[in-house]
């Protein structure tokens, strides 16, 4: 029987996880010599490639010196924490990847805490030692301190460290450059323990799922005890205590980037099971005669909610294939099956649903994915989840870390304190200032764009959920109002030119707009209704060249996440496969006035 090592690669966003996996795949000759694979092989989803981040965890398997190494690439954003917690259950060791300049970041702490809690053997890799200003020795001390603060055991504190550069393709157990990453692969075999072999009746927890249009839903997990065979009758034990009798139709193990069909999988190996239906992540596949369940996977609670509704704008149904509330509901329910940190609730209105997630990025990725699949929908302003603890109203707080050039640090502190943030740490890292704050999650909404404007795009910020604490009171929102379209038609360069001194436009001349659509940011507080569709009146004698005098600034392009942070309570975003538009929830101005009057009288 072949020896097995199961490792998960964990790190903060952009510290080089996926590049390291590429190097492992190339070094172990997974591909033919002449095969063109490109970079970031594991990030095979379009969204992951565009954003340069890992969203979904993935498995690959390589063979080195006769040992099978199962590699799990995990996401680095805490918004995808639900994904990380599950897949760590399949590993016996973790490779903690840290940038030689930035050192351990908030998300590093988040994922490492989960790994140490599961008692996994850590190997530390200090990556990017070829970068200028890098400080590998200081970073090594900072990692040790982080382990200590997370209550690591004596054994975990005695972690092996490797240095190198994933981009240049070498890792060594000292700072001396070597030829390739074989010292690291030898280290994995030496330091990561083989999986514990438990004799007895079958037990396997489903920690991930895959879908194939040919095979249907596929359950993925690690065999924790016994052996699983093709054609075997098993008991599927669910979280609610129910037990279903099922049959394993096909079994696959991971090999290279794909899967290989087998007839049996032994204890300690990762496998994919075909033929089970109606299973959920966290269920246990057990022996039919004497079934025993493994503890259910618990995932951190969501901290943010958004209202998803059908698109009810005048441009409804122009771009999308899926536009009804039934389409929307089915798609959201399907997402909750594999996205553990997501929850969906019905509301009093038949065409609106409350969706709970871990943060703006988590919800933004879901909306962007749905949009690309051809859905049309409207989403409201993100709201944080409020809890009552010991009779007090409490809200989620986050730890915010900002690295910024020293000359901008004053502006950053000012911005964060305006939003009820408190500074805990301020220290210099070369020419950069490292600032750490505790801030209510509400204060983070809309902070990124403000901060980038105020620091000439130099600030690097990251945050992670900390805990629920008492409500901090009102936080100032957007300072400026918006310009709202008065009628439904195409905008004209003539009108936009005349209105440019009133605000910054989100639309170009010749774009179709409708009544109630937000077309620009006002330069003052308060909203303004404008006519941006008026054509130039022609006269019978025109001065030559007078039409060329209009100089229109190009429109401000806003991403979906920026729109989510920008809108206020009475506004929403219309999302279609081709367009993202901001609008007022109530499009008609008279109706808006009636509602605001009735709200004021209720408050009185």
For the annotated binding site, the residues are: 14-19, 127-130
Distances (CA, A) of 460 to 84, 142, 403, 463: 23, 19, 5, 10
SS3 569: coil
Query: Do the Cβ atoms of 76 and 111 come closer than 8 Å?
Result: yes
The tokens describing 603, both together, are 């408050």
Q: Which residues contact 393 (CB under 8 A, 6 or more apart)?
A: 386, 470, 471
Pair type for strands 270-274 and 216-225 = antiparallel
Angle, nearest 10°, between helix axes 106-117 and 136-149?
A: 50
Q: What are phi and psi of 597, to 5 degrees?
A: -65, -45
> Is residue 370 within 8 Å of residue 331, measured between CB atoms?
yes
Burial of 33 (0-12, 13-18, 19+ CB in 10 A): exposed
HSE (CB half, 13 Å, CA atoms) of 29? 4
Task: Tell me how far apart the alpha carbons of residues 215 and 221 are, in angstroms, rounded to a whole number.
Answer: 17
Q: Of 315, 270, 325, 278, which Cα lies nearest the Cα of 511? A: 315
Look up residue 28 and give its two tokens.
């172990």
- Exposed/middle/buried for residue 203 (C-beta within 10 Å: 0-12, 13-18, 19+): buried
How far CA 70 is from CA of 44, 195, 452, in Å, comes to: 18, 11, 40
Mark the binding-site residues for GTP, compressed into ranges: 14-19, 127-130
Q: Rounded distance, CA 37 to CA 19, Å?
A: 12
DSSP 549: G
- On whether the CB atoms of residues 465 and 385 are closer than 8 A, the answer is no
Q: At what angle do helices 17-27 and 182-191 cross, to 10 degrees?
A: 100
Instruction: Give the integer Cα–Cα distance in Å for 311 and 305.
Output: 18
- Rg of the chain over Cα atoms, rounded to whole angstroms, equals 27
What distance in Å separates the CA atoms of residue 230 and residue 216, rounded to the nearest whole number?
17
Per the structure block, which two tokens stand in for 367? 């909306």
- Phi, then psi, of 14 in degrees rounded to 5: 70, 20
Give CA–CA dist 83/587, Å, rounded: 39
């Amino acid at each position: 029987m072949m020896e097995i090592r199961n490792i998960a690669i964990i790190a903060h966003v952009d510290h080089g996880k996926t590049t390291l996996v590429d190097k492992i795949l190339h070094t172990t000759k997974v591909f033919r010599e002449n095969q063109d694979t490109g970079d970031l092989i594991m990030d095979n989803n379009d969204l992951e490639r565009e954003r340069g981040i890992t969203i979904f965890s993935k498995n690959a398997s390589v063979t080195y010196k006769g040992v099978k190494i199962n590699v799990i690439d995990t996401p680095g954003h805490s918004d995808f924490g639900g994904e990380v917690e599950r897949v760590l259950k399949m590993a016996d060791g973790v490779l903690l990847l840290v940038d030689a300049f930035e050192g351990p970041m908030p998300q590093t702490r988040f994922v490492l805490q989960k790994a140490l809690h599961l008692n996994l053997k850590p190997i530390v890799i200090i990556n990017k030692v070829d970068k200028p200003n890098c400080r590998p020795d200081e970073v090594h001390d900072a990692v040790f301190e982080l382990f200590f603060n997370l209550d690591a055991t004596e054994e975990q504190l005695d972690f092996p460290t490797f240095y190198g550069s994933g981009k240049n393709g070498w890792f060594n157990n000292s700072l001396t450059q070597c030829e390739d990453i074989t010292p690291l692969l030898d280290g994995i075999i030496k330091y990561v323990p083989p999986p514990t072999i438990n004799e007895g009746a079958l037990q396997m927890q489903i920690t991930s799922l895959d879908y194939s249009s040919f095979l249907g839903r596929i359950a993925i997990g690690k065999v924790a005890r016994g052996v699983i065979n093709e054609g075997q009758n098993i008991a599927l034990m669910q979280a609610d205590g129910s037990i279903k009798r099922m049959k394993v139709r096909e079994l696959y193990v991971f090999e290279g980037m794909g899967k290989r069909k087998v007839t049996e999988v032994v204890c300690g190996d990762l496998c994919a099971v075909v033929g089970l239906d109606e299973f959920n992540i966290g269920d246990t596949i057990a022996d039919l005669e004497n079934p025993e369940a493994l503890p259910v996977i618990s995932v951190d609670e969501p901290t943010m909610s958004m209202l998803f509704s059908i698109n009810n704008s005048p441009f409804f149904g122009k771009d999308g294939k899926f536009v009804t509330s039934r389409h929307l509901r089915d798609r959201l329910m399907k997402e909750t099956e594999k996205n553990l940190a997501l929850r969906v609730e019905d509301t009093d209105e038949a065409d609106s649903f409350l969706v709970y997630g871990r943060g703006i990025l988590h919800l933004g990725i879901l909306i962007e994915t749905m949009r690309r699949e051809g859905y049309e929908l409207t989403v409201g302003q993100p709201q944080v989840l409020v809890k009552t603890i010991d009779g007090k109203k409490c809200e989620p707080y986050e730890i915010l870390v900002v690295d910024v050039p020293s000359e901008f640090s004053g502006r950053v502190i000012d911005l964060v304190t305006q939003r009820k943030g408190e500074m805990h740490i301020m220290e210099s890292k070369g020419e950069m200032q490292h600032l750490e704050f505790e801030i209510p999650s509400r204060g983070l909404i809309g902070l990124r764009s403000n901060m980038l404007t105020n620091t000439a795009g130099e600030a690097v910020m990251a945050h992670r959920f900390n805990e629920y604490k008492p409500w901090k009171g009102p936080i100032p929102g957007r300072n400026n109002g918006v310009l709202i379209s008065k009628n439904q038609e195409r905008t004209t360069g003539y009108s936009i030119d005349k209105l440019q001194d009133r605000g910054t436009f989100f639309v170009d001349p010749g774009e179709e707009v409708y009544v109630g659509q937000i077309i620009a940011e006002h330069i003052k507080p308060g909203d303004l209704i404008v006519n941006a569709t008026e054509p130039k009146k022609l006269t019978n004698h025109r001065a030559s060249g007078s039409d060329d005098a209009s100089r229109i600034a190009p429109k401000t392009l806003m991403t979906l996440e920026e729109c989510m942070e920008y809108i206020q309570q009475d506004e929403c975003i219309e999302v279609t496969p081709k367009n993202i538009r901001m609008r007022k929830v109530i499009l008609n101005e008279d109706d808006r006035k009636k509602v605001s009057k009735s709200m004021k009288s209720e408050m009185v």
